[in-house]
């Protein structure tokens, strides 16, 4: 099969992808955890070019994120289309629980979210049989059990989508081949046989995709003798942690799977700076009726990508995000036209709800610049994975300060600031190629600013803790502007990203 896509399909922090096709257009949704807007949506007609069209969650009341723990929030959406309506079911982990969102226009406004009652688990999936009965299949990981989190395998109920109420007690379907955390179930009817695709082995290096089949959506399910169908564990493949797959047909009618994976870095390939990304791979059914899935390949890096936002529009572009609260609480694009104004409220980058507007890091080597006017406050640029692990360069108009916060341990460096708005700089470089302790890290993060005589570098910080493995995070890096005191104005942010050697 000649595959039309380029891997990664969605680079940067875009985990847990789910896909559906409607009248020749594909719609893809991803997890967003504690970030707003939530559950990003992308479309494509050829699987080669993907365009962002919006988000399912655009209003704070749709998810309960205000105090959600780090790595809580929107987990593992499933997107499906049935009877003229788009459906997204998702777990708002440690928030509102399992929810159903609907719309007839995925680029428009989605519903407020119907809570699903009688469903105690994560990673919900929807499937309809020929009679219109809807089956909700999910991972029976009980996060709120009184005796601590426990797992009951893959479970299922018939559900009334109008009320969100389960119509029966949960039944157990299948629990994979014995790998930990059977999750991400997706149920399909193909040629009068029901197939259950699941992830297992945990979302780290043991991640895998397995499949079972049954004559009826309720079972009994038998596992494929060739399970797991996809895994990179124990291999030197450049894409690791491959799992959490969703099966679909390509425009040519062939089968394919969208899934997550990571691109680990360093001499021992231990650190995934961008977290879990979206990939695709080819699939096919054999004469025995069992699915085969090809290993996930990584494509040759393309040319450098340049992004430049001068904040001349009245609203933030779709890729910009915030943490646990909407940008409207602290950001303005109209008060000073052509500038992004950030008004501090006592929070810093060490807090759960920073005054921060960011985007996903999408390339292995990046160079970010921001023109910052700090004449009325303190703020600058941050490279962030969570409140415990971030690397910042800021100014208060008098000094430029670099700060590395690693597992809440902080070190700073500073120099006098040039007059007027200052261009703050944050860039990464690969670790040295020769063997050394430093060679095992993901990258080095450099912090500095443009002075009257050229670039001034203040510090270079080991970037490994700003990785999925180092921070123990389900997310990935984001970069952007922040304010920690007063009001800070940002004229523009530029980003140059490149995969492969710098």
Q: Which residue has the tokens 């063997």?
A: 435
Q: How far apart are CA 307 and CA 487, in angstroms?
A: 25
Query: Across the chain, how many H-helices and E-strands are there?
Result: 1, 36
Q: How far apart are CA 358 and CA 391, in angstroms?
A: 13
Torsion 170-171-174-175 (CA) sign: positive
Structure tokens at 409: 């341990």
φ and ψ of 469, to 5 deg = -75, -40
The residues carrying an active-site annotation are 16, 183
Q: Which residue has the tokens 């999925």?
A: 468
Beta bridge partners of 287: none
Measured between alpha carbons, how far is residue 103 from residues 27, 87, 465 in Å? 13, 7, 39
Q: Which region, left, alpha or beta, applies to residue 394 given φ > 0 means left and ψ of -120 to 50 means alpha?
A: beta
Cβ count within 10 A of residue 376: 15
Identify whether the C-beta of residue 137 lies closer than 8 Å to the C-beta of residue 196: yes
Q: How far apart are CA 126 and CA 134, in angstroms?
A: 7
Residue from 374, 418, 409, 408 nearest 394 by CA? 374
302-306 contact pairs (CB < 8 A, 24+)? 302/6, 302/499, 303/498, 304/496, 304/497, 304/498, 305/362, 305/363, 305/495, 305/496, 305/497, 305/498, 306/494, 306/495, 306/496
φ and ψ of 379, to 5 deg = 175, -175
Torsion 292-175-218-29 (CA) sign: negative
Q: How far apart are CA 5 and CA 1, in angstroms?
A: 12
Q: How far apart are CA 377 and CA 392, in angstroms?
A: 16
Peptide linkage before 368 cis (omega within 30 of 0): no
**Close Cβ partners of 148 (under 8 Å, ≥ 6 residues apart):** none
Q: What angle do CA 271, 273, 276 make, to 5 degrees?
A: 95
């Amino acid at each position: 099969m000649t595959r039309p896509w380029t891997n990664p399909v969605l680079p940067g922090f875009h985990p847990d992808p789910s896909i559906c096709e409607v009248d020749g257009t594909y719609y893809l949704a991803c997890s967003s955890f504690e970030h707003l807007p939530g559950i990003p949506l992308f479309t494509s007609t050829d699987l080669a070019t993907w365009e962002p069209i919006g988000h399912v969650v655009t209003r704070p009341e749709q998810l309960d994120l205000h105090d959600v723990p780090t790595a809580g929030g929107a987990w593992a959406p499933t997107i499906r289309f049935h009877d003229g309506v788009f459906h997204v079911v998702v777990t708002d982990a440690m928030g509102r629980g399992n929810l159903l969102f609907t719309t007839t226009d995925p680029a428009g406004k989605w519903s407020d979210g119907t809570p699903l009652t009688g469903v105690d688990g994560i990673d919900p999936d929807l499937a309809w049989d020929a009679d219109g009965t809807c089956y909700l299949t999910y991972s029976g990981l009980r996060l709120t059990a009184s005796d601590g989190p426990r797992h009951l395998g893959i479970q299922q109920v018939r559900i009334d989508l109008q009320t969100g109420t389960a119509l029966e007690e949960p039944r157990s379907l299948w629990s994979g081949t014995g790998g930990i955390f059977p999750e991400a179930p997706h149920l399909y009817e193909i040629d009068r046989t029901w197939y259950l695709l699941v992830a297992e082995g945990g979302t780290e290096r043991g991640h895998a995709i397995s499949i079972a089949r049954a004559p009826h959506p309720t079972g009994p399910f038998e596992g494929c003798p060739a399970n797991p169908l996809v895994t990179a564990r124990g291999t030197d493949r450049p894409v690791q942690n491959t799992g959490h797959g969703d099966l679909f047909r390509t425009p040519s009618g062939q089968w394919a799977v969208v899934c997550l994976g990571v691109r680990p870095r360093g001499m021992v390939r231990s650190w995934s700076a961008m977290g879990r990304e979206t990939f695709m791979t080819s699939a096919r059914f054999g004469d025995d009726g069992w699915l085969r899935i090809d290993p996930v390949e990584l494509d040759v890096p393309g040319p450098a990508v340049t992004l430049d936002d001068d904040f001349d529009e009245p609203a933030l572009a779709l890729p910009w995000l915030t943490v646990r609260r909407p940008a409207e609480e602290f950001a303005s694009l109209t008060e000073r036209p052509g500038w992004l104004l950030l008004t501090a409220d006592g929070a810093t980058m060490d807090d759960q709800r920073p005054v921060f507007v960011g985007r996903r890091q999408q390339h292995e080597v990046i160079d970010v610049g921001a023109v910052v006017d700090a004449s009325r406050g303190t703020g600058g640029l941050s490279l962030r994975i969570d409140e415990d692990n971030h690397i910042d360069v800021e100014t208060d108009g008098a000094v430029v300060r670099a700060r590395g916060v690693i597992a809440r341990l902080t070190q700073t460096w500073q120099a006098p600031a040039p007059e007027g708005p200052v261009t703050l700089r944050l860039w990464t470089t690969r670790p040295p190629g020769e063997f050394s302790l430093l060679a095992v890290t993901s990258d080095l993060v450099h912090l500095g600013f443009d002075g009257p005589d050229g670039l001034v570098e203040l510090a270079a910080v080991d970037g490994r803790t700003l990785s999925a493995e180092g921070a123990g995070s389900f997310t990935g890096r984001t970069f952007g502007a922040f304010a920690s005191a007063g009001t800070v104005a940002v004229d523009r942010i530029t980003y140059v990203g490149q995969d492969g050697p710098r």
